Amino acid sequence: MKALLVSILVIVAAGCSSNQTPDQIAKAETGKNAKESVGYQCEKVYPMGSSIPKKLCTTRAQRKTIEKQSKDGARVLVKPALSSKVNP
């Protein structure tokens, strides 16, 4: 009797786990395609002073903006050093 109940529960649980409608499947696939089209990417980043990684997710446009800001910041720091005159 117990074996019959356990087998029925297993069958019911397996049937309930795959109850996605075609609309839900299409939405999931569209979401994946949308993420790929904007260049959505996640990576592990270790904040300074921490050994615990954080998950950082960005789009292609956000990564380009960050790269441009980094280059501009470096130019601001280097330009005064290059333009100063050294007296021998």
Tell whether 64 is covered by a domain.
yes
pLDDT, tens only, 4-41: 555 565 565 555 555 655 556 556 666 667 677 788 89
- What range defines the domain where residue 45 resides? 38-80
Tell whether 73 is covered by a domain.
yes
Which tokens sit at 13?
Answer: 């649980």
To the nearest whole percent, how much of the chain has pLDDT over 90?
32
Predicted pLDDT of residue 84: 65
DSSP secondary structure of 6-75: HHHHHHHHHHHHT---HHHHHHHHHHHHHHHHTT-EEEEE--TT-SS-EEEEE-HHHHHHHHHHHHHHHH
Kindly list the distances between the CA atom of residue 66 and the CA atoms of 7, 9, 18, 33, 58, in Å, as whole numbers in the listed order: 55, 52, 41, 24, 10
Tell whether 55 is covered by a domain.
yes
How many domains, in total, are found in the chain?
1
Q: Which residue would you say has higher pLDDT here, 13 or 58?
A: 58
pTM strictly above 0.75 = no
For residue 79, give the 3-state DSSP assignment.
helix
Predicted pLDDT of residue 14: 52
Predicted pLDDT of residue 1: 64
